Each structure stands twice: as structure tokens, then as C-alpha cells.
Structure 1
């Protein structure tokens, strides 16, 4: 097996089927752990990103965790979506909630909008005629609406906490069959 090392640390194999020596594997893992971008390390050693990801999974230290499929609790998802609704950007929300990518949050937004579209299709909202409302009534209704929304958020949070602590599903699953009477 003939291998050679060229300038700028570029490593080349004689044949693609040749295996990388253990020293090269560990050197690539150390480089990636030190903060060098994975794509740069992969191109430096002439390998695919998939190969490097496998090495990182096998040989990296316990402190290093490559990007993996992470799952987030429903309460975290709702908190992120509420923060975005209140004016926070997707990147700011990702940073403040410790989410790896804005793509994840965009998926949550899409899913939530699809679910809300289903609800709005079921219950069409009609605007009341403007002539019957005076400004004081409007202010009172807006205040009641804000209180109702706050109460709903508090109840959802309480359900999330109860689900996590009791480890049971409290919310009814959509499409679930009713039990026979």
C-alpha cells in the first residue's frame, strides 16, 4: 500500500480502496475537535464527509458531539415559536434556545402553520360590523383576549410539565378512535 503526504498536510491514497492509517484517522479527528470545519478536514485528507462523520462518531472524545438528530420537548418547541411570534428572529431564537440550526425551527413553524390552517378551515372567523363597536368596547375586548391567551399559554405549560413529570400523554392524539360506549 503506497501512500504519500503532500504539502499543506494534504493526504492522498494510492488507491481509493486503501484504508487510512490509524494515525491519520486520529489526526483528522483531533483537527475536527479543535474547531476546523468538517468539510475542510475532509477535503484536506481527500475523503468524503460521511467517512469523517463516521470517524467522529467512533473516535471523538466524549466532550465532542457531532451534529446529530436531536429531539426537542414540545414545551421547548412552543417556547421557541412564541418567542418568534413576539418578534425574535429565527437565528436569535436558535442561539438563545441552543438549537443547532434555523432549519429545525423553520420546520416547526411550517408544521405549526399547517396545523393552524386546519383549525382555521374548520372554524371560519367572521368580522363583526364596525358600526356596532365603540372604542371602549374594543379596548375591553382586546384586554379580555390578551388575558385568555395568557391563560391558555399557562395551561399548556402546566400540561407539558405534568406530561414530563408523570411520563404520560395527557393530550388527545389527533385522529384517535373513541372508545366504545
Structure 2
């Protein structure tokens, strides 16, 4: 029988933030937070930054929002909380993409970001 350990979302979010803010990989981050598998870290990063597991690098399509009754204070408070969480997830996703580009530019020595300045005709 397999024992399944559940981790609180606060720990997962802390782990994802550490992964995004540091140059450590999945394995090193898993070791730092005493998580048995690097794949768990990868899954949590994808969960919090919204990457699709079927198409790496592509974000999930936004869910259609249900119309809400603006008069209900409890509904509005819940909606605000959902939007704040979505904003935090998007911020983490953006930071992950930026980190990925930085690592690619540094390690692979390829230019990815658009450079500012005048355009040149390439003949």
C-alpha cells in the first residue's frame, strides 16, 4: 500500500517562489524543501504558473467567467479573492517565463528578447 503525503498550498507556493527566484533546478529545490521527487516540484510550478502539461510553454486558455450578482457582498469578496489568486498565478507565470529566457540567453548564448533601436533591413 502506498502512503500519500499531502502538502499544504502555502508550502507549495513558497517552494514555487523559491524555485522562480533562485537558479536552482527542480531536483535541488525538492531537496531543499524535503520533497521526495523533483517531478512534484515541476507539477506545482506548472500548477501555480498555469503552464499546460500537454503543450510545454503554452498557457492554458482562460476559463469563461460566470456572470455574478454584483449586489451580494459575500459573492463579491469571493470573486475578489479569486481574481487576486489569478493575478498572483499570472505574476508567477510571467516571472517563470522571464527566468527561462534569462537562463537560455545566459547558458545557451542565444538572443531571445527583442532589442530596442532602429530596424535594419537584412539583405
Which TM-score band (shorter chain)? 0.3 to 0.5
Q: Which has the higher helix share?
A: 1
TM-score (structure 1 length as normaliser): 0.29
Between the two structures, name the one with larger relative contact order (CA 8 Å, sep ≥ 6).
2
